[in-house]
Amino acid sequence: MADEFIPYSRQDISDADIAAVSAQLRSDFLTQGPVGGEFERVFAERHSVRHAIGVSNATAALHIGCLAMGVGPGSLVWTSPNSFVSSANCAVFCGAEIDFVDTDPATRNMSLDELTAKLETADRSGRLPDVVIPVDFSGLPCDLAEMRVLADRYGFKILEDASHATGASYKGEPTGSAHAHATVFSFHAVKIVTTGEGGMIVTQDDALAEKLRLLRSHGVTRDDALLQRVSEGGWYYEMVDLGWNYRLTDLQSALGLSQMTRMDEWREARERLADRYDVLLADGPFKRPARFNDRVSSWHLYAVELTQDARMGRAEMFAAMRAANIGVNVHYIPIHTQPFYEKLGFAREQFPNSVAYYDHAMSIPLFPAMTAAQQDRVVETMMTLAA
Ligand SMILES: *Cc1c(COP(=O)(O)O)cnc(C)c1O
């Protein structure tokens, strides 16, 4: 009999989650009742941030984040090639130009040195970015304090893609509370806290929050302070900007609220598993995730890179792991190498660190309910195949 399948990630749905969603289904509100606001309030409090705005998914959050920061035709946005395609697509949605900053081989995040050098060049040529989207890959926060110094010097805004980093912190501050002008989280089913599909964008900036709230809901407002004309009655609303239907439903928010009560417990469970992988894989031909003492990862992913000493290449190893019923994955195919971006003029060799990482990378199973026995099976299979 084949061994049970071990997925690379697995959502954790408790009886309390199911009860919360059931209660919501029986309530008066499926979409825009009080629970959405409550989820936003609790999420904002947990991340020590003034405003949290729930949205239908993180891609929508990145889109309205760009728009609220003024991105449009003629704008320039930079992001990391080692991310999901949304981190770049959001700029293209707005008609802006996109470019990439290569990754740091240690953090696998946007390289601070590459960013600094690219900004110096851009400054000389007079074409600085308007928005930079650093991505907290695997849940490890980027060098955000240093990036903020650069943002203030060169006049760009930081839209942090923390889709992996719910519950992470940097220099003692929760992700989203400091440095970035706005920060995006994903609640897709494979992410840390899930609402099925869903996302949140947080900011300390009151004016930005107001724009984001308008953009996620048709650009329509009933707020007296925002109306441009005198109200015509209790039914009155105005469309003051072009917005989208990017709202999060109350059904989703009820699940999110219930999930959030286990966030800290999950982060600790993920970290324990990551620590154990570090020890168990130490003698194998694998480059493990680097550790930094100024930031706490949320451990969304545990990604190794096969070294020169491995007996097989990544493609062969991936196939052998899957054949052994272990759900490994690869994050990410560098965005600039996708056919769509190649057509925009990007070449594979332009961002060599992200490509070198991709060629050897493999994400191995990591989820809060993973048992030591499951983890041992993953490790033994990897060691037998590669060492
Ligand atoms: C998942 C993810 C997204 C997109 O999130 P959705 O909620 O599915 O739209 C964007 N960026 C990164 C880094 C992601 O991992």
Q: How many CB atoms lie under 10 A from the CB of residue 126?
A: 6
Is the per-residue pLDDT at 1 higher than 60? Answer: no
Domain boundaries, position 334: 263-386
Same domain membership, residue 181 and residue 105: yes
Mean of the per-residue pLDDT values for the chain?
97
Q: What is the pTM of this model?
A: 0.97
Q: What percent of the chain has pLDDT over 90?
A: 98
Q: What is the distance in A from the centroid of ligand 1 to the CA of 214?
A: 22
Query: Lowest-pLDDT range, 214-218, 220-224, 255-259?
Result: 220-224
Q: How many CB atoms lie under 10 A from the CB of residue 277?
A: 23
Q: Which of 240, 260, 280 is the last residue of a domain?
A: 260
The pLDDT assigned to 98 comes to: 98
Residue located via tokens 């606001």: 37
Residues 6 or more apart in contact with residue 380 via CB below 8 angstroms: none
Q: What is the distance in A from the centroid of ligand 1 to the CA of 366?
A: 18
Q: What is the distance in A from the centroid of ligand 1 to the CA of 60?
A: 10
Residue of 138, 163, 166, 247 best suited for mutating to test ligand 1, as the one with most atoms within 8 Å of CB: 163
- Quote the distance between the C-alpha of residue 158 and its chain's center: 14
Residue nearest to atom 8 of ligand 1 (CA): 188
At residue 193, what is the residue type? V
Question: How many independent structural domains does the chain possess?
Answer: 2
Q: What is the distance in A from the centroid of ligand 1 to the CA of 125?
A: 33
CATH label of the domain that carries residue 169:
3.40.640.10
At residue 338, what is the residue type? Q
Q: What is the pLDDT of residues 105-124, one digit of tens each?
A: 999 999 999 999 999 999 99
The pLDDT assigned to 2 comes to: 66
Q: What is the distance in A from the centroid of ligand 1 to the CA of 59?
A: 6
How many C-alpha atoms does 331 have within 13 Å on its Cβ side? 25
Residues at CB less than 6 angstroms from ligand 1: 57-59, 83-84, 86-87, 135, 161, 163-164, 186, 188, 199
Q: Is residue 113 part of a domain?
A: yes
Assigned token pair, 307:
């070294």
Nearest atom within ligand 1 for CA of residue 198: 7
Q: What is the mean pLDDT of residues 321-341?
A: 98
- Residue 46 · residue 175 · CB < 8 Å: no
Q: Which of 218, 239, 260 is the last residue of a domain?
A: 260
Query: DSSP string covering 51-107, please?
Result: EEEEES-HHHHHHHHHHHTT--TT-EEEE-SSS-THHHHHHHHTT-EEEE-PBPTTT
At residue 229, what is the residue type? R
Q: Is the peptide bond before 332 cis (omega within 30 degrees of 0)?
A: yes
Same domain membership, residue 175 and residue 32: yes
